[in-house]
Structure 1
Amino acid sequence: MPRAVFVKIRAPPPPNSLLEGPLMSSRAALVHRRGLLQCRQLVRAVSTAGSVCGSEGDYIPRAKAREWRLHKNDQLRKNRRDPELERRARNKQLEVPLDLVQSEWKEGTGRHHLRNIGLHCAIYQDVFGSVFHPRGFMDIQYSTSEDTHSVEQGNLLPVSCARVEPVVTLPEGLEGNYSTLLLTDPDGHLTNGTMELLHWMIADIPCGRPPAEGRLVTPYLQPIPPAGSGFHRYVFSLYTHDHPLSETTQPAEEDDWLKKRTFSTIDFLRAQPDLRPFAFSYFQSQWDSSVREAYSKLLAHPEPVYQILRTLTPRQARQVEIKCQRGAKYSVM
Structure 2
Amino acid sequence: FQMSAAQYARLISRKYRGPKLPKINRPRRPRLLAWAGPTAFYPNRFYEQDKWYKARIDKPDLIPQLHIIDPTLYGESLADYLQKDKVVPTNIGFAEKDTKRVPKTSSDPQLEKLSRTKKLRIDISQLGEADQRMIAHFGVFEHLFNDNVYFNRTQNFEVSFADHGVYTGNVLWAEDTKTTPDVTRNMDHPIIVPVKVSIESVGAGGFNTIVVVNLDGNASEQPGEILHWLVANIPDGKNVSEGEEKVKWMQALPFLGTGFHRLSFLLLRHSVKIDVADIGSDLASRVFSTAQFYKKHEDTVTPSALLFSNVAYDMSVKEALHSQSLQSPLYEYEWNERLKRDQKEFPLKPMPFDLYLDQYRDSKEVQADLLRERLEKVGIDDVIPPKFLDDNYVENKKKLDAWNHSKLLERNRPESPVYNNALKY
TM-score norm. by structure 1 comes to 0.63
Q: Which residue of 2 aligns with 1:55?
A: 94
The counterpart of 1:188, out of the listed 211, 217, 235, is 217
Long gaps (5+) in structure 1: 1-26, 81-85, 91-97, 317-333
Q: Which residue of 1 aligns with 2:154?
A: 135
- Structure 2 distance, partners of 1:169, 1:276, is 18
Q: Is residue 284 of structure 2 the alignment partner of residue 251 of structure 1?
A: no
1:165-244 aligned within 5 A = 165-166=180-181, 167-173=196-202, 177-192=206-221, 194-244=223-273
- Structure 2 distance, partners of 1:157, 1:55, is 30
Long gaps (5+) in structure 2: 1-76, 113-121, 182-195, 342-425
- Counterpart secondary structure, 1:240: strand
Q: Which residue of 1 aligns with 2:333?
A: 308
CA separation of 1:173/1:231 partners in 2, compared to 1, >3 Å: closer, same or farther?
Answer: same
Q: Which residue of 1 aligns with 2:304?
A: 278
CA separation of 1:155/1:314 partners in 2, compared to 1, >3 Å: closer, same or farther?
Answer: closer
Q: Which residue of 1 aligns with 2:40?
A: none
- Counterpart secondary structure, 1:307: coil
- Structure 2 distance, partners of 1:28, 1:269, is 37
- Structure 2 distance, partners of 1:128, 1:244, is 22
Q: Is the 8 A contact 1:137 1:280 kept in 2?
A: no
**Alpha-carbon shift at residue 183 of structure 1 (Å):** 0.7
**Alpha-carbon shift at residue 284 of structure 1 (Å):** 0.9
Q: Which residue of 1 aligns with 2:133?
A: 116
1:29-40 aligned within 5 A = 34=83, 37-38=85-86
**Alpha-carbon shift at residue 140 of structure 1 (Å):** 0.9
CA separation of 1:311/1:89 partners in 2, compared to 1, >3 Å: closer, same or farther?
Answer: closer
Q: Which moved more, 1:158-167 or 1:259-268?
A: 158-167
Letter in 1 for 2:283: L
CA separation of 1:245/1:282 partners in 2, compared to 1, >3 Å: closer, same or farther?
Answer: same
**Alpha-carbon shift at residue 311 of structure 1 (Å):** 5.3
**Alpha-carbon shift at residue 160 of structure 1 (Å):** 1.4
Q: Is the 8 A contact 1:170 1:210 kept in 2?
A: no
- Structure 2 distance, partners of 1:151, 1:304, is 27
Compare CA radii of gyration and give the structure with the larger one: 2
Q: Which residue of 2 aligns with 1:288?
A: 314
Q: Can you list the C-alpha shifts for 1:90-130, whole angstroms capped at 9, x where unaligned?
A: 9xxxxxxx99x94xx64xxx31x1x2122110000111222
The counterpart of 1:262, out of the listed 287, 308, 311, is 287
Q: Can you list the C-alpha shifts for 1:283-326, whole angstroms capped at 9, x where unaligned?
A: 111111111111111x211111112245555779xxxxxxxxxx
**Alpha-carbon shift at residue 169 of structure 1 (Å):** 0.6
Letter in 2 for 1:259: A
- Counterpart secondary structure, 1:280: strand
- Structure 2 distance, partners of 1:160, 1:225, is 11
**Alpha-carbon shift at residue 89 of structure 1 (Å):** 8.9
Q: Which residue of 2 aligns with 1:151?
A: 166
- The alignment yields a C-alpha RMSD, in angstroms, of 3.2
- Structure 2 distance, partners of 1:280, 1:140, is 10
- Counterpart secondary structure, 2:150: coil
CA separation of 1:307/1:240 partners in 2, compared to 1, >3 Å: closer, same or farther?
Answer: same
CA separation of 1:117/1:88 partners in 2, compared to 1, >3 Å: closer, same or farther?
Answer: closer
CA separation of 1:265/1:29 partners in 2, compared to 1, >3 Å: closer, same or farther?
Answer: closer
Count residues with an aligned counterpart: 238
Q: Is the 8 A contact 1:181 1:236 kept in 2?
A: yes
- Counterpart secondary structure, 2:160: strand
- Counterpart secondary structure, 1:238: strand
Q: Which residue of 1 aligns with 2:179?
A: 164
Q: Is the 8 A contact 1:176 1:207 kept in 2?
A: yes
Q: Which residue of 2 aligns with 1:14?
A: none
TM-score norm. by structure 2 comes to 0.50
Q: Is the 8 A contact 1:174 1:240 kept in 2?
A: no
